[in-house]
């Protein structure tokens, strides 16, 4: 695809506060200068009056960055399967709109989710539009998100008949969300088809960072309620993470991200501050050993609670 280094990806989670723009530019600059060149976003990030805000910012940051690695920046965006997107041309138009916001063609365009679970009749046209983008040379590669192995094989065959390769597949994957790999077996299928697996939410919304505890303060809203339910049942996993982090002189976040890398995926953790970006970057350049991976696997398998799965994940 020619998108630079595929060693690791970083998804910037935009705060939509204009006062944060300079900080986010600094985060972007730090990532690229440290060989983090894959940036993932979506046309649904920043909806309503802020429609496309994430792509606008990412495009601006990419244009203004003048340091080393600029030529390797790879921008991936996901096109939402909105109910009003019914034709293949609607996908082409959506990608052209993303490109306009980014100020350049999209490098990797992805179907944000499958409609197979609720409107299977809609999906065919949207996938045709995704393949059209590749055939028309408007993108360098195409990918999928939240697809399971059965659905992925069908789409891969459909695309192969048109000579369109699938480059990547995104799934929710972390020590608290192993379902797509351990139960669905998606990694084996990706390896068989030559597709790179991208792990989104590798820190399980932040609960694997060690920042939160049962007796401490929790995030507001639904995330806080979810953490309150999860924390009692994941004590052994967090303890295991902490122990391995200390023995490697790393943070728990770095261990959790490195585990995803060791499993053959490209993790895309979020970063809104320089501190978060530095922490994420610290997951690179070293590797957990086999016994540490096995220990984390056992701890993950023994947790009483798992992260809630994305409702759009197919089988």
Alpha carbon distance 196, 313 (integer Å): 17
Alpha carbon distance 97, 187 (integer Å): 32
Q: What angle do CA 1, 82, 133 make, to 5 degrees?
A: 30
Q: What is the mean pLDDT of residues 255-259?
A: 98
238 and 230 Cβ atoms separated by less than 8 Å: no
pLDDT bracket for residue 16 (50, 70, 90): very low
269 and 297 Cβ atoms separated by less than 8 Å: no
Q: What is the mean pLDDT of residues 220-241?
A: 92
pLDDT bracket for residue 8 (50, 70, 90): very low
Q: What is the mean pLDDT of residues 237-259?
A: 97
- The pLDDT value given to residue 204: 95
**Residue among 251, 256, 250, 218 nearest 237 (CA):** 256
- What's the token pair of residue 214? 């049962």
Alpha carbon distance 13, 104 (integer Å): 20
Does an H or E element contain 141, and which? strand 141-145
Whole-number mean pLDDT of the chain?
91
The total of other beta-carbon atoms located within 10 Å of residue 69's CB is 17
- The pLDDT value given to residue 138: 97
Q: What is the mean pLDDT of residues 255-280?
A: 95
**Residue among 43, 51, 53, 52 nearest 15 (CA):** 53
**Residue among 191, 99, 184 nearest 137 (CA):** 99
**Residue 200 among the catalytic residues:** no
pTM of the shown model: 0.92
Catalytic entry in 45, 134, 179, 212: 45
Put residue 134 in one of left, alpha, beta given phi > 0 → left and psi -120 to 50 → alpha: alpha
- The pLDDT value given to residue 219: 86
Q: Determine the angle formed by the axes of helices 149-160 and 186-193, rounding to 10 degrees.
A: 20
Which residues are CB-neighbours of 55 under 8 A, at least 6 positions away? 41, 43, 45, 46, 77, 98, 101, 102
Q: What is the mean pLDDT of residues 284-303?
A: 96
The total of other beta-carbon atoms located within 10 Å of residue 286's CB is 12
Give the pLDDT confidence of 158-217 residue by residue, as tens digits: 999 999 999 999 999 999 999 999 999 999 999 999 999 999 999 999 999 999 988 888
**Residue among 6, 9, 16 nearest 272 (CA):** 16
Q: What is the mean pLDDT of residues 47-72?
A: 85
Classify residue 310 by its DSSP letter: P
pLDDT at 3 over 80: no
pLDDT at 14 over 50: no
Delineate the domains of the chain, giving CATH numbers in brackets.
Answer: 9-206+252-287 (3.20.20.100)
Dmax over CA atoms of the chain, in Å, equals 56
- What's the token pair of residue 122? 């809609």
Alpha-carbon dihedral sign for residues 253, 256, 262, 267: negative
């Amino acid at each position: 695809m020619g998108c630079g280094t595929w060693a690791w990806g970083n998804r910037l989670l935009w705060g939509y506060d204009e006062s944060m723009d300079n900080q986010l530019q600094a985060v972007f600059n730090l990532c690229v200068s440290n060989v983090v060149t894959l940036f993932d976003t979506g046309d649904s990030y920043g909806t309503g009056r802020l429609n496309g805000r994430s792509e606008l910012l990412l495009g601006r940051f990419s244009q203004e960055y003048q340091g080393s690695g600029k030529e390797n920046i790879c921008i991936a965006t996901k096109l939402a399967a909105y109910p009003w997107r019914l034709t293949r041309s609607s996908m082409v138009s959506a990608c052209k709109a993303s490109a306009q916001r980014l100020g350049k063609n999209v490098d990797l365009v992805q179907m944000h989710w499958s409609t197979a679970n609720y409107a299977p009749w809609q999906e065919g046209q949207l996938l045709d539009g995704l393949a059209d983008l590749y055939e028309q040379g408007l993108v360098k590669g195409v990918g999928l998100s939240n697809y399971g192995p059965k659905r992925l094989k069908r789409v891969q065959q459909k695309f192969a008949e048109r000579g369109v390769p699938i480059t990547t597949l995104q799934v929710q994957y972390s020590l608290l969300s192993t379902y797509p790999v351990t139960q669905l077996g998606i990694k084996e299928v990706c390896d068989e088809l030559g597709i790179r697996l991208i792990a989104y939410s590798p820190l399980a919304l932040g609960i694997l960072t060690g920042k939160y505890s049962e007796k401490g303060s929790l995030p507001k809203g639904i995330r806080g309620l979810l953490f309150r339910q999860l924390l009692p049942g994941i004590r052994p996993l967090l303890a295991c993470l902490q122990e391995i982090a200390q023995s490697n002189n790393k943070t728990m976040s770095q261990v959790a991200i490195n585990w995803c890398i060791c499993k053959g995926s490209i993790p895309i953790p979020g970063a809104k501050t320089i501190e978060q970006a530095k922490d994420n970057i610290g997951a690179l350049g070293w590797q957990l050993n086999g016994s540490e991976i096995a220990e984390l696997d056992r701890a993950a398998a023994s947790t009483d609670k798992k992260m809630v799965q994305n409702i759009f994940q197919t089988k």
